[in-house]
Structure 1
């Protein structure tokens, strides 16, 4: 259900209901934070609808955020999960987006919070959760609470853009962005609708900064035989991933298209040592950008702190960026990622 600002207090304390996810705004209304009864949390800035924090039940942060990131709306956030739309990078040769700044305007526009919704999966007599808690009503409530999820919805339309953005990209659109927190995963889903009388082309990407302990012990699986564009070479080159695992030992900026008839169906798993740390599942996003600035580039970015922070981050970015997505009037483009803790796959 959509949360109401003035719901009756009795609704929150109805006997027998499991604890509910809590949603709160910051004092300046610049961000919204959702917390599950089991302790997991996610925080989203309205500026850019940028996810800036995702913590597990122990309070351990799963996303990397630069200590110098600007969170006041003065520039796009360095870290978390910025949104890329309608252009990936810059496209000086593309007529419709050539005037736009790098990665477009989604990450630098203020989004509207549309509300929250919650769901739960109730244990049944055939589930372990039920068997473990059937002797206690309080235990059954706790089990139901552990299965709760919370979804936060955000909206942006062409009418909400700055005058500068509208002048550079004069097309009517509507965007709905949903961030869903579960006990062991985070899902981000973006739907873009063409509300114009003209067709237009776009790209979209979720620029996810994953937190790792030591980049030198990280390996990325799921990219074997994938073609990729290497943006660190001059001129930019195209190649194929031969090894079963990608490791990072220098500046890395690659746009992968996983092998197979359905590239978006290939899970991408990030290991630290021999332990799976994250599994990234994609829906309708055929490409995966892998990025780490390494030493020299990190030094040259004013908002990248600490300068050795490249050791503790890895960008694995699901997107539709290898080609242009054409939206006819009334058409919609949807893409989603689910980041699962560990090696689990939904």
Structure 2
């Protein structure tokens, strides 16, 4: 039980659960409950800090996707939080185990500062319980001017089979389908995967519990606070083949991304203000 730190990683252990975090991107690489891995990590994920990690829980901030205009237009896809090293602030609670990481402009490359000059502080809190992992992001604006941002937990879940996976609880909400390049209203039925899927489900009430099922069995449920959008992503065959760090190439059969965030429109943060969003992932073994 407790926290172990190396130069590049932090390991959290609590009862029968364990989490590994790469300081680069504050990326959760692994979450095990009773020895069973809950997250998918590519066998060819780059862990040396040269690029964002393919798998685990990459952090998306301050932009989701690639902005074509506005203050985030110069930033790379999904922003800079996932490709800079974060500071481990330390353990702040023993039971359940809670640790915090921080990122501020001082830790950014000059290139990133030039691309997005806003003043900010990110505090990322991980809480590990016996069967759950809570990820919480606090965004603070200590500067003199307001800024807008997106934030998202880009969680890759390990699943038994894409043929039997279902995502339930999204509701009859607006959908932006990036594969068919269309917008429509979801029918509220569980989402299944039989081809490439890349969709943003929006305006989902906090009260909606999201469930990832294998057949009729719930494997993981997700509770959200202040995160109205959920992205469902699976690259399928062609896209997986085109991603150099996605391996094995048939890995799409054992993963699904169910990503909670606030990405449909920017969150506006006034000087001196803060914003907090969190998700609670609970494993059902």
TM-score, length basis structure 1: 0.80
SS at match of 2:36: coil
Task: Judge conservation of contact 1:66–1:79 (CA < 8 Å) in 2.
Answer: yes
Of 117, 139, 156, 2:103 maps to 156
Answering whether residue 156 of structure 2 is matched by residue 209 of structure 1, we say yes
Tell me the equivalent position of 1:227. Answer: 174
Higher strand residue share = 2
Q: Distance in 2 between matches of 1:225 and 1:327?
A: 29
Task: Judge conservation of contact 2:19–2:30 (CA < 8 Å) in 1.
Answer: yes
Task: Judge conservation of contact 2:143–2:272 (CA < 8 Å) in 1.
Answer: yes
Tell me the equivalent position of 2:27. Answer: 50
Q: Distance in 2 between matches of 1:170 and 1:158?
A: 8
Q: Distance in 1 between matches of 2:209 and 2:277?
A: 15
C-alpha displacement of 1:264: 2.4
Alignment of 1:95-114 (within 5 A): 95-114=70-89
Q: Deviations over 1:11-42 (max 9, x none)?
A: xxxxxxxxxx221123xx10000112x33100
Cα 1:118–1:321 shift into 2, 3 Å: same
Of 21, 37, 40, 1:61 maps to 37
Q: Distance in 2 between matches of 1:197 and 1:47?
A: 28
Task: Judge conservation of contact 1:70–1:78 (CA < 8 Å) in 2.
Answer: yes
Structure with bigger gyration radius: 1
SS at match of 1:247: coil
Answering whether residue 2 of structure 2 is matched by residue 22 of structure 1, we say yes
C-alpha displacement of 1:278: 0.6
Of 201, 214, 217, 1:272 maps to 214
Task: Judge conservation of contact 2:98–2:128 (CA < 8 Å) in 1.
Answer: yes
Q: Distance in 2 between matches of 1:40 and 1:241?
A: 35
Answering whether residue 187 of structure 2 is matched by residue 242 of structure 1, we say yes
Q: Deviations over 1:20-67 (max 9, x none)?
A: x221123xx10000112x33100111100000010012x111000000
Structure 1 residue ranges without an equivalent (≥5):
1-20, 121-148
Tell me the equivalent position of 2:202. Answer: 257
Tell me the equivalent position of 1:129. Answer: none
Of 146, 149, 168, 1:199 maps to 146
CA RMSD, aligned part only? 1.2
C-alpha displacement of 1:337: 0.5
Higher helix residue share = 1
Q: Deviations over 1:117-172 (max 9, x none)?
A: 3344xxxxxxxxxxxxxxxxxxxxxxxxxxxx211100011121110000100111
Task: Judge conservation of contact 1:251–1:292 (CA < 8 Å) in 2.
Answer: yes
Tell me the equivalent position of 2:48. Answer: 72
Task: Judge conservation of contact 1:258–1:264 (CA < 8 Å) in 2.
Answer: no
Q: Distance in 2 between matches of 1:220 and 1:258?
A: 17
TM-score, length basis structure 2: 0.97
Structure 1 stretches of 4+ with a deviation exceeding 6 A read none
Structure 2 residue ranges without an equivalent (≥5):
none
SS at match of 1:104: coil
Task: Judge conservation of contact 2:2–2:94 (CA < 8 Å) in 1.
Answer: no
Q: Distance in 2 between matches of 1:160 and 1:193?
A: 15
Of 270, 274, 277, 1:332 maps to 274
Answering whether residue 257 of structure 2 is matched by residue 315 of structure 1, we say yes
SS at match of 1:216: coil
SS at match of 2:37: coil
C-alpha displacement of 1:243: 4.7
C-alpha displacement of 1:310: 0.4
